């Protein structure tokens, strides 16, 4: 992995090494403050960038 966001919950059966470990927190929609405020969620990244 380059970035491990699994919080140690994913095992593939072999040693894993990451350049960065991030403790990402997720919430169900009824507990999400952004959802309650009607703030749209965005997916960051460059996968939709035209080549």
1-42 confidence digits (pLDDT tens): 688 888 878 888 888 888 988 888 888 989 999 889 999 888
- Nearest Cα to Cα of residue 1 among 26, 31, 28, 24: 24
CA dist 1 to 20, 24, 45, 51, Å? 8, 15, 16, 24
Q: Does residue 29 or residue 51 have the better pLDDT?
A: 29
Q: Does residue 27 or residue 43 have the better pLDDT?
A: 27
pLDDT, residue 47, reads 67
Q: Does residue 3 or residue 50 have the better pLDDT?
A: 3
Phi-psi label, residue 2: left if phi above 0, alpha if psi -120 to 50, beta otherwise: alpha
pLDDT, residue 46, reads 65
């Amino acid at each position: 992995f380059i970035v491990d966001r699994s919080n140690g919950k994913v095992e593939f059966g072999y040693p894993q090494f990451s350049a960065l470990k991030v403790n990402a927190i997720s919430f169900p929609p009824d507990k999400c403050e952004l959802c309650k405020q009607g703030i749209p969620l965005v997916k960051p990244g460059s996968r939709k960038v035209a080549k």
